[in-house]
């Protein structure tokens, strides 16, 4: 059975690119564009995804907010998270890791690299 991955990215082109690469690599992908929707899907999920690919700058609730909530939630604290973002300043990367990101990839990126990094975490 394929690993399930939730991709939360507000840029349509990037979201579609990630979803295509991950699906090509055998993942079952749900791709969404809003931070509040992401949180609601995770918090209320009967079945959790095996991994989350998360942008930082999102409408509704930003990626740092989602990550912080995940790590404070008993059922979600172990969910593997790969941050994929245009925010590559050292303070952003450090904050991402301090909040519990498992990996951090800055844009521009290789979709194959994101898939490989995710695979290391979920397989």
Class of domain 4-122: alpha beta
- pLDDT tens, residue by residue, 81-117: 999 999 999 999 999 999 999 999 999 999 999 999 9
Q: Which tokens in the block code for residue 32?
A: 């969404």
The CA distance from 22 to 100, in Å, is 22
3-state per-residue secondary structure call for 34-64: CHHHHHHHHHCCCCCCCEEEECCCCCCCCHH
- Please report, for the chain, the start and end positions of each structural domain, with discontinuous segments joined by +: 4-122
Mark out the alpha helices in 1-123 (DSSP H runs).
Answer: 12-24, 35-43, 63-71, 90-99, 111-122
18: confidence class by pLDDT, cuts 50, 70, 90: very high
pTM of the model: 0.96
87 preceded by a cis bond (ω within 30 of 0):
no
């Amino acid at each position: 059975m394929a690993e399930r991955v939730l991709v939360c990215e507000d840029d349509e082109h990037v979201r579609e690119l990630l979803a295509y690469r991950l699906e090509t690599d055998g993942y079952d992908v749900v791709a969404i564009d809003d931070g509040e929707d992401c949180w609601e899907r995770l918090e209320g999920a009967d079945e959790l995804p095996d991994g989350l690919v998360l942008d930082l700058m999102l409408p509704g609730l930003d990626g740092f907010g989602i990550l912080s909530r995940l790590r404070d939630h008993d059922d979600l604290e172990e969910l593997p998270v790969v941050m994929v973002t245009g925010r590559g300043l050292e303070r952003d990367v450090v904050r991402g890791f301090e909040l519990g990101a498992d990996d951090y990839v800055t844009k521009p990126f290789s979709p194959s690299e994101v898939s490989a990094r995710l695979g290391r975490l979920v397989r």
